[in-house]
Amino acid sequence: MTSGFRYFSIASPNHGQRRASIDMLVLHYTGMPHAEGAIARLTDPRSEVSSHYVVDNGGAIFALVSEERRAWHAGQSSWHGQTDLNSRSIGIEIGHPGHDGGNPPFSDAQIEAVISLCGDILSRWQIAPARVLAHSDIAPSRKQDPGERFPWERLHRAGIGHFVLPTPLVEGHGLAPGDEGPSVAALQGSLAAYGYAVEPTGSYGLETQQVVAAFQRHFRPERVDGLADPSTCATLRDLHEGLTPP
C-alpha cells in the first residue's frame, strides 16, 4: 500500500477471473468532471466497467478491484498482437475532465499520487517499463486518454515507464495520410514492432494516422496531428534504441 497518501477502499462488483499473468499497467483519464461520478459508475454493476484504482484531483487513491482480479477497463484493445488486455493488465483511472472538458493540466498532488501508486504496483508485479501504457496506445482508434497533457516524462524520471526526450520539431517533409510505398511500410513496421496495432500495408490510411497520433500523445506531445514528421520518426527510432533487451 502507498504511504503518505489518502487511501480508500470502495469495492466494485465489476470484475472476473484473469486468463493471463499480469504484465501491463494501463493509465486512463476518467473523462468526467469529478472523480466521485467516475467512482459511482465504476462501481455500478449496470455499467459493466471498472478499474483497479482511481486517483482523484487531490491525490486521494481509491482501490476498487483487487489486483488479482480482472477489472474491465481496457475494452477492445491490442498490444504486440495480444488482446484481452484486461486479463493481463492493472488499470488506473485518473480523475480528469478529458479533452471534452478542456483538457486541463493534471494537478501536482494527483501526479505524485499516481507515481507512488505505480511504483507500488511495479514492486509487486513483473511489468517491463515499455508495458506501462496509455489507454490510447492500446486502443488508438477509440481513445485519447490520458492525453498529451499527461506528464509521461515526469513518471519516467521517477522510474516508471519507458520514455526518451522527444526530438525537437523541425521543418521538413515526413509521411502523411495518402502516402504509399516502402517508407510508409517501414514506419508501420516500426510502430508495430514497438507494440501498436497497425499492419505494414505501405498505405498511410486512417489506421496509421490514429496510431501515429497515439504515439505522439505519449512520446512527442508537443504536436499531435497524426503526421509522421521528422521529429516523430526520430523519436520513434530513439525509443527503440533505448529499449532494454528482454
Measured from the Cβ of residue 9, the count of other Cβ atoms closer than 10 Å reads 9
Provide the sign of the torsion angle of the four alpha carbons 154, 244, 116, 158, taken in this order.
negative
Tell me how far CA of residue 180 lies from CA of 15, 170, 185, 202, 212, in angstroms: 43, 23, 8, 5, 15
Using alpha carbons, select from 169, 95, 94, 80 the residue that is nearest to residue 128.
Answer: 80
Reading across the β-sheet that carries 61-63, which strands appear in turn?
Answer: 7-9, 61-63, 53-55, 89-94, 24-29, 132-134
93 assigned to active site: yes
Name the helix (H) or strand (E) containing 212: helix 206-219
Kindly name the residue from 93, 112, 180, 222 that is annotated as catalytic: 93
- Which residues on adjacent β-strands are paired with residue 61? 7, 55
Cell of 201: 500495408
Q: Which residues are catalytic?
A: 93
